[in-house]
Amino acid sequence: PGEAPEERVIRDYDINDYKNKTELTAMRLKTSMYAALRAYRDIRLIERHRQGLEKIISATTEFIECDTLPQFASAILNQISVLLAIETSDIICCAITRDVKSGNQYKILATNLQGKSLSTIPAKVQTRIEEALNQHSNIQGSDYFVSYFTTRRGMENVLYVAKNEPLEPVQHHLLSFFANNIAVSHENLKLREVIRDSQRELSYIIGEAVELRSKETGSHVRRVAHISALLARHYGLPDNEAEMIKLASPLHDVGKVAIPDLILNKPGPHTNEERQIMQTHAKAGFDMLRKSDNPILQLGATIAHEHHECWDGSGYPNGLVKNAISAAGRIVAVADVFDALGSKRCYKGSWSETQIREYFTEQRGKKFDPRLVDLLLANFTT
């Protein structure tokens, strides 16, 4: 003890206990072993909590990137599988939601049971979920966990997880944290959907206002948006780009608000001077939209500017050639003309399907991207 005083040993070295030789009995050894094993158990438990919290934080990133409920549902299943360190086939998992304010029925968001109504899932699962809903609280058993939670927007949610063997206490705790994470992420997803729907409707309203002024009826801009999105997907563009084109394409003719009514609604052919004035709508639409920082309006500006450009360079306003025209501009050009030819206008009647097919075949590689024409003729009818 004189050469290795207890205070100095504990303070200066990575040593947590100090025993004199007289204390080293068999009982003391057993006590030390039990204490060490329990300390190791606690350290492992803390480490598992830490790893689980890291996985929950990581899951937030995946949830943020989800744009649709099916993607969100898939992310829930994947992340719970990671959190519990088991295969997705070894768990039963579903997330239930209901808008309390609107009084809607509960619906399943995810996962193994996706697409089923609450009344069609297994009776044992249904009973446990309904118990949590009625009690407005979490319930749990040895092999299952049901978390009940609400959101600020009035959404009632339940997360049910069960597996073929007992859930450990740490797994119950982590699932409780994870359920709250799902609630917030789902609320944010619904908010993004509201914003996206609002943007879509505003684009339609603006486009239809131009239609109304030019006496074009029949929801031309909505059909162009739908056709453009389908063409974009067949063309190989990612779903998010196709959706952007769908949102922006209704703005393709917004520049027509700058065209005088006498020219815009003239029933007969335009004179050269009138045609030149009419062609200014592409540049006018571009100038209206390009100053915005909104990506949809930015894409709308590009589409408005380029949807009258031609594959062979004979279009306007800049005579762009082939791939110098943006993919969105080329796609909307095809969709716009396809729908216009099949619709009655103030200056013409609607064309037959045969006439439309002949026109696009003739203009393939001239006015239109040849690949887009092939996709149109192979997949669409009037």
Tell me if residue 256 is catalytic.
Answer: yes
Q: Exposed, middle or buried, 26 (CB in 10 Å: 0-12/13-18/19+)? A: exposed
The C-alpha atoms of residue 58 and residue 56 are separated, in whole angstroms, by 5
Q: What angle do CA 107, 113, 118 make, to 5 degrees?
A: 40
Q: How many CB atoms lie within 10 A of CB 79?
A: 20
Q: How far is CA 253 from CA 28, 56, 185, 209, 273, in A?
A: 88, 46, 37, 10, 20
Give the residue ranges of DSSP H helices in 19-68.
26-64
8 Å CB contact between 109 and 97: yes
Distance CA 108, CA 95 (A): 6
Long-range CB contact pairs, 340-347, < 8 A, 24+: 340/220, 342/382, 343/216, 343/218, 343/220, 344/218, 345/216, 346/214, 346/215, 346/216, 346/265, 346/266, 346/267, 347/266, 347/267, 347/268, 347/269
Contact status, residue 46 vs residue 38, Cβ threshold 8 Å: no
The torsion angles phi and psi of 235, rounded to 5 degrees, stand at -75, -15
**What does the DSSP 8-state code read for residue 342?**
T
* 96 and 108 Cβ atoms separated by less than 8 Å: yes
**How many angstroms separate the CA atoms of 295 and 248, rounded?**
9
**Contacting residues for 150 by C-beta, under 8 A, at least 6 apart:** 100, 156, 157, 183
**E-only strand ranges, the chain:** 91-99, 107-111, 139-140, 144-150, 155-163
Q: Two tokens at 53?
A: 């919290």
19, 30, 163, 256: the active-site residue: 256
CA dist., res. 104 & res. 102, Å (int): 6
Token pair, residue 127, equals 């009973």
Known catalytic residues are 256
